[in-house]
Amino acid sequence: MALSLDDIQRIAHLARIEITPAEAADVGRKLDGIFAMIGRMSAVDTTGIVPMSHAQDLSLPLREDRVSESDRHVDYQRVAPAVQDGLYLVPKVIE
Amino acid sequence: MNTAPVAQLAQALAAGRLSSVELTRGLLDRIAALGPALNAFLTLDRDGALAQAQAADQARAAGRAGPLTGIPIAHKDVLMTAGLRTTCGSRMLEDFVAPYSAFVVEQLARAGMVLVGKTNMDEFAMGSSNESSYFGPVRNPWNTEFVPGGSSGGSAAAVAARLIPAATGTDTGGSIRQPAALSGICGLKPTYGVCSRYGLIAFASSLDTPGVFAQTAEDCAHLLGAMAGHDPRDSTSLDRPAEDYTRDLARPLKGLRIGLPKEYFGDGTEAGVVGAIEAALDELRKLGATTIAVTLPNVDLSVPVYYVIAPAEASSNLSRFDGVRYGHRAEHYADLMDMYKKSRAEGFGAEVKRRILVGTYVLSHGYYDAYYLKAQQVRRLIADDFQRVYQQCDVIIGPTSPTTAFKLGDKTDDPVKMYLNDIFTIAGNLTGAPGVSIPCGFDHRGLPVGMQLQGNYFQEARILNVAHQFQQVTDWHARVPEAFKP
């Protein structure tokens, strides 16, 4: 499988990462190498094998539905790039 | 004295032969003098460390000292430290000051340990050489033209150069064990779920495991005891009774059954590495252990499986870095979408972007079954292999890495070549079982060889027992690189 430049741009768009046309060829070449290595897996017969999603077979723990955290939005917004009146600022989305 | 292992420092502190302030100041001076050549530290907190050291001395004077009180430690910069810069080795978080601390950071602080600073690492813990850090590569103390391994390269190099007696790391595919091997120290990855991931900046959540570096297996046992514990803030943190990981250190090895997987000793492993491991196995046999040839037929698929699962989880975890709530935001952009794309393009380095793209692709419409589901099925086959082998033996031993350290720049242009460094460690993350790497010799260039001891789930005390007994009859762990001898 070789990824086309269109494939690369499509994946990059889904991942929300800008890739310039100048970068795309090298990115594609390296991804092709990685997918060739990953492809070795496809030869294995996995019929009927139960997928292993996690190291421990655990059921998700539940907790009581009550407030456990204090309001620390000032601390958390201190590290944000742009904040005003307790709100995160982003470019205008709706005209 | 300052460069001694944790256990000896603890004795000196308890006996009053040394104060934590003296020890901490001595190490900070050592880091200032010798550290820059290695680039192992990203942030130092001299004032904070000395204040903590003073508090530790006061606690001791008041009779409130535990075994680790007053011992300095450094944390890998993937672990959040409240009030202290936490970069994850990335431009994305270059100026990020963590608003809270990771669970393991809190645990070690509760034990009275003194936080000296944060260590360099591969960006977002993605790498095996510490060359993907935005802040420049870390260098190997045994030869500064060589890499220290990664992703926890800064922690490994700092302990190897005796700049700090202990440091934390995280291991997603070998990121503690492999740098421990390449830098000639001990590195322990516990069972998944034993140490909470709360406050560990997520890479691959089903694989990420906090652990520790030190000079000896005994020190690792003490440190793990302090780090472990149930934490309801991590839904995968295990609620188990507290363990004394030092309980088996003195246990004789007579009757120990060691499994030797033939796949670990094949053509891909350097002769110098195999030679050192064979000599170490002879020592273990002299101590009464027996060795059994075993086979892990699917283990060579662990690299392909990992490079589906880890990037898939990473692409999801790293979507949080959008230039809105924290992290880098591009200066110029046309609209919101453009802001996301440019902020992420500028904030992430090449390897991180590559893994996000791989993960995005394997999770995209129409490819899920062929990649992600398939990888999870093969992951099961690999885990089943290990369970079969553990019916025949108590521990599995082999090289931690197929080679010793390589030169800076040697593998940076070929991602697949770089990924194959972790061929012997990745399975431990896929299964979630513990492993420790300990030094067991040197190759013809004078670079350290690491031996990996793996055990079944929750067998940390047993693998540390074997490592400790080996260290009682050998002195590889006590060797110090020439330029860093005290």
| pLDDT tens profile A17-60 | 999 999 999 999 999 999 999 999 999 999 999 999 888 877 77
Domain residue spans of chain B: 6-256+392-484
Closest CA to B252 of B292, B289, B281, B290: B289
Q: Is B65 helix (H, G, I), strand (E, B) or coil?
A: coil
Q: Is B168 helix (H, G, I), strand (E, B) or coil?
A: strand
Q: Is A33 helix (H, G, I), strand (E, B) or coil?
A: helix
Pairing of the two strands B257-261 and B290-294: parallel
* Whole-number Å distance between alpha carbons of B369 and B190: 31
* Whole-number Å distance between alpha carbons of B102 and B61: 28
Residues 255 to 314 of B: which have CB under 8 A from any A CB? Answer: 298, 301, 303-305, 307-308
Q: Is B82 on the interface with A (CB under 8 A)?
A: no
- Residue among A52, A61, A88 minimizing CB distance to B379: A52
Residue type at B292 in one-letter notation? I
pLDDT grade for A90, boundaries at 50, 70 and 90: very high
Residue B238's CB: how many other CB atoms inside 10 A? 19
CATH number of B6-256+392-484: 3.90.1300.10
Per-residue model confidence (pLDDT) at position A1: 63
The whole-number average pLDDT for the span A58-87 is 90
* ipTM value: 0.96
Question: Which residue do the tokens 């600073």 mark?
Answer: B117
- Close Cβ partners of A95 (under 8 Å, ≥ 6 residues apart): none
Residues 36 to 95 of A: which have CB under 8 A from any B CB? Answer: 36-42, 44, 46, 49-56, 58, 60-61, 63, 72, 75-76, 78-82, 88, 90-91, 93
Q: Is B148 on the interface with A (CB under 8 A)?
A: no
The tally of domains found in chain A comes to 1
Name the strands in the sheet holding B290-294, side by side, starting at the edge strand that comes first in the sequence: B41-44, B114-119, B72-76, B166-171, B209-214, B186-189, B435-442, B448-455, B395-399, B257-261, B290-294
Strand runs labelled E in chain A: 83-84, 87-88
Question: Which residue do the tokens 């560990």 mark?
Answer: B200
* CATH code at position A28: 1.10.20
Q: What angle do CA B433, B72, B31 make, to 5 degrees?
A: 110
In-domain check, residue A61: no
* Whole-number Å distance between alpha carbons of B300 and B57: 51
What are the b/e assignments for B182-205, b being 16+ CB within 10 Å?
bbbbbbbbbbbbbbbbbbbbbbbb
Question: Which residue do the tokens 């530790």 mark?
Answer: B56
User: Is omega for the bond preceding B151 within 30 degrees of 0, making it cis?
Assistant: yes
Sort out which chain A residues have CB atoms less than 8 A from B342's CB and list them.
Answer: 18
Per-residue model confidence (pLDDT) at position B190: 98
- Close Cβ partners of B410 (under 8 Å, ≥ 6 residues apart): none
* Whole-number Å distance between alpha carbons of B56 and B67: 11
* Whole-number Å distance between alpha carbons of B252 and B466: 9
Residues 6 to 25 of A: which have CB under 8 A from any B CB? Answer: 8, 11-19
Nearest CA in chain A to B208: A55
Q: Are B400 and B452 in contact (CB under 8 A)?
A: yes
Per-residue model confidence (pLDDT) at position A61: 81
* Whole-number Å distance between alpha carbons of B344 and A18: 7
Question: Which residue do the tokens 């009774």 mark?
Answer: B241
Among all residues of B, which ones are annotated catalytic?
76, 151, 175
Chain B interface, best mutation among A8, A37, A41, A65, by max B CB count within 10 A:
A41
Q: Which helix (H) or strand (E) holds B203?
A: none
B480 burial type by CB count under 10 A (0-12 exposed, 13-18 middle, 19+ buried): middle
pLDDT grade for A62, boundaries at 50, 70 and 90: confident
B68, two tokens: 């680790």
In-domain check, residue A76: no
* Whole-number Å distance between alpha carbons of B144 and B155: 15
Q: Are B404 and B415 in contact (CB under 8 A)?
A: no
* Helix, strand, coil percentages in chain B from 3-state DSSP, rounded to 5: 40, 15, 45
Is A16 in contact with B431 (Cβ distance < 8 A)? no
Find the DSSP H helices in B131-186.
Answer: 153-160, 177-183
Distances (CA, A) of B130 to A17, A92, B87, B89, B260: 23, 39, 14, 9, 30
- Close Cβ partners of A2 (under 8 Å, ≥ 6 residues apart): A28, A32
Owning domain of residue A27: 5-42
Chain B interface, best mutation among A9, A16, A58, by max B CB count within 10 A:
A16
Residue B249's CB: how many other CB atoms inside 10 A? 21
Residue B95's CB: how many other CB atoms inside 10 A? 12
Phi-psi region of B405 (alpha: psi -120 to 50; beta: other; left: phi over 0): beta
What residue ranges of chain B have pLDDT lower than 50? none
